[in-house]
Amino acid sequence: MLLGAKAGGPYAVTALIIAGGGGGAAGSRGAGGGAGGVQESASAVLTPLTDYTVTVGSGGSGASAAGYHPSAGSNSSFNGTTSTGGSRYYWNTSAQGGSGHGGYQNTGDYGTGISGQGNNGGPGRDTIINSTFVRDCGGGGGKGAAGTHTGGAGSNSWSAWATATSSGASGYYGGGGGGGGDYSSYHAGGAGGGGTGGDGSVAGSAGTANTGGGGGGGGWDGNMVQSGGGAGGSGIVIIRYAGGQKGSGGTVASSGGYTYHKFTSSGTFTA
């Protein structure tokens, strides 16, 4: 707790609240995980010497090569605003998350995103490439765009926050996980920490920690050699206010006339 805070009055803060990304599915149903929800809270006036709980959601686990089902990301929250974890594929059904997971087939089994937090995942497809049947699974949605076969792009709207706190992925947060597929038909994750999809010999990669990126889906090689999906990236909460440091908690940085408190795990912000 900062002793200097006793002399100050209430002050306004905003917060960037990013949930954990969904895990990537495995094998021939290797859909990419949806990015965790990304929101900036409305400005709120906090009371000095008061503790406020910060919850940072974990990324969902990726599915093992022997099973199809990963887990969704966990929610992040601060001062009454909650961002929802990214969704994950589950056996021909669609689920909603901050951003939605990719689909297995060219049907409606991709997940949907929550308005203001993210976007829908992309459908899968069955196609013929060089006389060979290929199944491409869909990528997860991201904050900035819906998934296709690749993961949907995240957003760089908070690039100044990312620079000030040494967080994000090249200024982006909330990229969807890339879809996996047969042979070498896997796809990239979205900008903002989305994991890359896999094939039978390459597993889907994990979303980047503290970006909310979705995990990449696994794949198979046509001979039922399957690979697992990647875990979703964990979330992050960043609290910002104008001027010099007033509160305590998290990792503190100052830039451009603002003070930032970065939380990469759950904790307490003392105003």
Whole-number percent of the chain with pLDDT over 70: 94
Give ∠ CA 204-156-26 in degrees, rounded to 5: 15
**Token representation of residue 75:** 């929610």
More confident residue, 181 or 129: 181
* Residue carrying the six token digits 């709207």: 157
Length of the chain: 271
Closest residue by Cα to residue 145 from 191, 197, 206, 104? 191
**Whole-angstrom Cα distance, residue 123 to residue 110?**
6
Closest residue by Cα to residue 110 from 147, 85, 145? 147
**Whole-angstrom Cα distance, residue 33 to residue 10?**
40
**Whole-angstrom Cα distance, residue 137 to residue 110?**
10
DSSP per-residue string spanning 78-103: ETTEEEPPPP--BTTB--EESSPPPP
Could you tell me which residues come within 8 angstroms of residue 12 by beta carbon, excluding any fewer than 6 positions away?
43, 44, 45, 46, 241, 242
Q: Return the SS3 of 165.
A: helix
Q: What is the model's pLDDT at position 2?
A: 40
For residue 69, name the pLDDT band (cuts at 50, 70, 90). confident
* Residue carrying the six token digits 């689920």: 95
**Whole-angstrom Cα distance, residue 18 to residue 92?**
27
Lowest mean pLDDT among 35-44, 152-161, 221-230: 221-230
**Whole-angstrom Cα distance, residue 209 to residue 212?**
7
Closest residue by Cα to residue 155 from 30, 36, 45? 36
CA end-to-end distance (rounded Å), the chain: 8
Beta bridge partners of 29: none
Q: What is the model's pLDDT at position 105?
A: 80
**Whole-angstrom Cα distance, residue 153 to residue 156?**
9
* Residue carrying the six token digits 């451009």: 256
pLDDT digits (tens, 9 = 90+) for 212-270: 999 999 988 767 788 999 999 999 999 999 999 999 999 999 999 999 999 999 999 99
Q: What is the model's pLDDT at position 1?
A: 39
Contact 63, 26 (CB under 8 A): yes
For residue 6, name the pLDDT band (cuts at 50, 70, 90). very low
